Chain A
Amino acid sequence: MRAHEDAAHETALGQVIRERRINRGLSTRALAAAAGIGRRQLALIERGEGHLDYRALRALARALDMPAAVLLRDAEAQTLAHEIAQRAIVLHLLDEQHPRPWTRSELQRASPDIEPGLLAEALTQLAASGVAILDGEQIRASRSARCLDTLGMISI
């Protein structure tokens, strides 16, 4: 697994743990105490910034009353959903049939299978990495992404 894939997976795993904690009505303090880890460590893990070793993962899974494998599976699914959403957006932004900038609502209409929250997160990630430019309501592919597309290096 490449470093950036690792990071994406850790972020997804952190999000899954946070969602499960909130669904169970637990505070970070309560879950950290139940799992026997520090509250700050848990906060970092939930943001995808903390190192999550197998021991901590098992302890958190036990405290959340679910198998660690389920957490991992859900994180995989979330990572995949994010990648699919980002790929769909990139393909829209590079669509020559739509040369003008896109709006969020246009992108949402063009991607009905992607729920709005996921679309917003995907856009944020694409903007943070310089693939998309968000300019108020307008969204377009960056010059760098367009150049790679012009060079024929973007494959579907």
Chain B
Amino acid sequence: MPGQPIDPLQEEGTQRLVVLQLLRDDHDPKWTRVELEKELDDIDPDAIAIALQRLQEQGVVQADGEQLSASPCAWHLDALNFITI
């Protein structure tokens, strides 16, 4: 529910789901927030926004205006088959 404090474990789970979405092979590497929210429609948009902010701070997600993408680091680790749920 928007405005409610978010459980840290839930927050990490949301971050993981965001990363997995951004690394999807069947989608353009660039996503909009609207597309992400649509795909993760069972997650509160505020939680997605917080997750995106944290991931950007850590350099896992890159933002270019409205466009979001996984960092080259995340893509490379995925290419090395490191990334898991």
Contact with B along A130-145 (1 / 0, CB 8 A): 1100000000001111
Q: Are B73 and A90 in contact (CB under 8 A)?
A: no
- Among A1-9, A28-36, A52-60, A113-121, the stretch in contact with B: A1-9
Q: Is A105 an interface residue (CB 8 A)?
A: no
Q: Is A99 an interface residue (CB 8 A)?
A: no
A57 CA to B73 CA in the complex, in Å? 32
How far apart are B58's CB and chain A's nearest CB, in angstroms?
Answer: 4
Contacts A129-B76, A131-B76, A154-B77 given; indicate if A87 touches B59 (C-beta within 8 A): no
Give the chain B neighbours of A90 by CB distance below 8 A. Answer: 77, 80, 82
Give the chain A neighbours of B55 by CB distance below 8 A. Answer: 147
Q: Are A87 and B82 in contact (CB under 8 A)?
A: yes
**Taking each of A125, A145, A147, which has the highest tally of chain B beta carbons within 10 Å of its own beta carbon?**
A147
Q: Is A153 an interface residue (CB 8 A)?
A: yes
How far apart are B71's CB and chain A's nearest CB, in angstroms?
Answer: 5
Q: Which listed residue (A83, A144, A152) contacts B80, Cβ 8 A?
A: A83
Q: Is B15 an interface residue (CB 8 A)?
A: yes
Give the chain A neighbours of B42 by CB distance below 8 A. Answer: none
Q: Is B52 an interface residue (CB 8 A)?
A: no
Q: Are A144 and B82 in contact (CB under 8 A)?
A: no
Q: Which listed residue (A2, A143, A145) contacts B77, Cβ 8 A?
A: A145
Q: Are B79 and A148 in contact (CB under 8 A)?
A: no
Q: Are A154 and B82 in contact (CB under 8 A)?
A: yes
Contact with A along B55-72 (1 / 0, CB 8 A): 100111000000000011
Q: Which residues of B are interface residues toward A (Cβ below 8 A)? A: 12, 15-16, 19, 25, 55, 58-60, 71-77, 79-85
Instruction: Given contacts A148-B19, A148-B83, list 12 more A-B pairs with CB under 8 A.
Output: A8-B79, A87-B80, A87-B82, A90-B77, A125-B76, A131-B76, A143-B58, A144-B59, A144-B73, A147-B55, A148-B73, A153-B82
